[in-house]
Structure 1
Amino acid sequence: MSTDKKRFSADGPAPRQRFWKEAGVQETADGFTITLDGKPVRLPGGNPLCVTARPLAEALAAEWAAAGLDDPKGRFTPADLPLTRIAGTKIERVRPEREHIIATLADYGAHDLLCYRAETEGPLTVRQAEEWQPWLDWLNERHGITLRVTHGMMPIKQPEPALQRLRTLLATRNDADLAALGVAVPALGSLVLGLALADGAITPAQAVAAASVDERVQMERWGEDAAILDRIAAMNEDVTDAARFMELGRG
């Protein structure tokens, strides 16, 4: 299957047509607005695409400058604008719904991937302990939060003080970090790994490697699986975009 067919498949988002010649950045009283041929980019809710950090604004403008250029018909999809999607979430979802976003992210901590180990002893439980426990230890040492670990899939109830600390910790994050965590945490299945990413304690590649331990052990035993490799690659893209958004937003 060609790249174009994958990008513009019938079950994917409808492609849009490039209509502008130049993308730029305009400084305003509220920050840095992204423009197309001098006119502000408007998000679906009508808000201008405006951020407070120039490096992030320049990266957003670069996305729009490149969108559609690699297609003979000038078509592009939201997948070509990953940083814009996160910025849009920050402006139109996180800003007006901070408490809901914090509660949603904290719920991943209540059921964090790193806390659920294989039920029977074997190579998988060894690898899970090796690659997951250091990040639970990091959470305790860095933020004073201890999460319980179980073996098997039966839900475990985390201590309420720990969950409250997670909510408090998330409340200290700015809107940009919460928007980026809203991409990284569901992709990883782990709030712990997401927080380590936000703190710069783990790289995107390390976070994805940790989150995909089960899949990698499975492939080491049974051979590579194209569907699993595609899922890991998609996870890597999401986590890398989220980490880049947070880094640029602090510039």
Structure 2
Amino acid sequence: MGSPDKGGKPDMRDVLKDVENSIQLSDPDPVKRAQIQMRTPLPKRFYKQAAVVQDGDRFAVHLDGKPVRTPGKNLLALPTEAAAKLVAQEFEEQTEVIDPMKMPVLRLVNTAIDGVATDPQAVLEDILRFASTDMLCYRAEGPESLVERQNTHWDPVLDWVQTGVGARFNLAEGVMHVEQPRESIAVLGVWLARRNDPFRLAGLHVMTSLTGSALLALAVEASEIESEAAWLAAHVDEDWQIAQWGQDAEAVARRAQRHHDFVAAVKLLDSLG
């Protein structure tokens, strides 16, 4: 379990990592994770067919007629048929072995059921902590080309947050901490509270973690920005550095895996309606 915070309560980021680790995510770094799993024998595909079966007001995933359980032994059931079909499709796409690295939606759903559902408020608060130091609020002092890129990609999101959500954020140059208005964080908290479904919160948390910006994640969820535009916005600084100095193969692989997980989170959010 993750280490407690100052109030004695476990940090939700550590809790969610612990849940992920229980489903064969053996390292938070996607490249290292892939290397570890290459050395670990993967379970063979033991089923012929994956299907979605309605179970009350939920939609469960079945393998050869038997319901799938999460690592925490909970029924793997989702609130919409479209969401359940995403998981079933990942099971269908497995060939000779079952590779969790190729099942990002399943990993996210397991995290939602076994982790987020036990304490959704903690996940909501963790997203708010990201927002209080959101990447979009920290601007480069130079060079001008980087400043212009940040303004182009980030200002429209902050404009939407102010006009659409009602939260105003302060900007800073460099890395010096800037305090955000308590009222703005409170408004975001109310906005998130309307989205406290464990699956939606799990998707938002993953998108926030991968981009470093809760505001980008909320804008994607609200259809105020296309997901790929948000991904580019999250990497403005990195892409500027790449343009100057290039990048190595490991960095390319790491970003590709993170993008894979980001796309899975977007698909899950879209499937929830």
Report the TM-score, using the length of structure 2 for normalisation: 0.82
The residue type paired with residue 37 of structure 1 is D
- For 1:146, the equivalent position in structure 2 comes to 168
- For 2:6, the equivalent position in structure 1 comes to none
- Contact 1:56–1:248 (CA<8 Å) still a contact in 2? yes
Instruction: Point out the more displaced range, 100-109 or 166-175.
Output: 166-175
Query: In structure 1, the residue corresponding to 2:179 is in which secondary structure?
Result: coil
The residue type paired with residue 239 of structure 1 is F
Of all paired residues, the percent bearing the same amino acid is 32
- Contact 1:219–1:225 (CA<8 Å) still a contact in 2? no
CA distance in 2, matches of 1:10, 1:54: 34
Instruction: Point out the more displaced range, 182-191 or 83-92.
Output: 83-92
Query: In structure 2, the residue corresponding to 1:76 is in which secondary structure?
Result: coil
- For 1:249, the equivalent position in structure 2 comes to 272
The residue type paired with residue 214 of structure 1 is D
Alignment of 1:79-118 (within 5 A): 79-118=101-140
Q: Does 1:38 align with 2:65?
A: yes
Residue ranges of structure 2 left out of the alignment (5+ in a row): 1-30
CA distance in 2, matches of 1:7, 1:75: 17
**Aligned-residue offset at 1:227:** 3.8
Q: Does 1:213 align with 2:240?
A: no
Residue ranges of structure 1 left out of the alignment (5+ in a row): none
**Aligned-residue offset at 1:12:** 6.3
- For 1:18, the equivalent position in structure 2 comes to 45
- Contact 1:24–1:34 (CA<8 Å) still a contact in 2? yes
The residue type paired with residue 114 of structure 1 is L
- Contact 2:104–2:260 (CA<8 Å) still a contact in 1? no
Distance 1:7 1:228, change over 3 A: closer
CA distance in 2, matches of 1:176, 1:88: 9
- Contact 2:128–2:185 (CA<8 Å) still a contact in 1? yes
- For 2:9, the equivalent position in structure 1 comes to none
CA distance in 2, matches of 1:114, 1:242: 21
CA distance in 2, matches of 1:84, 1:115: 33
- For 1:125, the equivalent position in structure 2 comes to 147
- For 2:219, the equivalent position in structure 1 comes to 196
**Aligned-residue offset at 1:175:** 2.4
CA distance in 2, matches of 1:111, 1:88: 28
Alignment of 1:175-186 (within 5 A): 175-186=198-209
Query: In structure 2, the residue corresponding to 1:214 is in which secondary structure?
Result: helix
- Contact 2:61–2:68 (CA<8 Å) still a contact in 1? yes
Pairing partner for 2:99 from 56, 77, 91: 77
Query: In structure 1, the residue corresponding to 2:52 is in which secondary structure?
Result: strand
CA distance in 2, matches of 1:10, 1:59: 26
**Aligned-residue offset at 1:182:** 1.5
Pairing partner for 2:245 from 222, 234, 243: 222
**Aligned-residue offset at 1:136:** 0.6
Query: In structure 2, the residue corresponding to 1:33 is in which secondary structure?
Result: strand
Report the TM-score, using the length of structure 1 for normalisation: 0.89
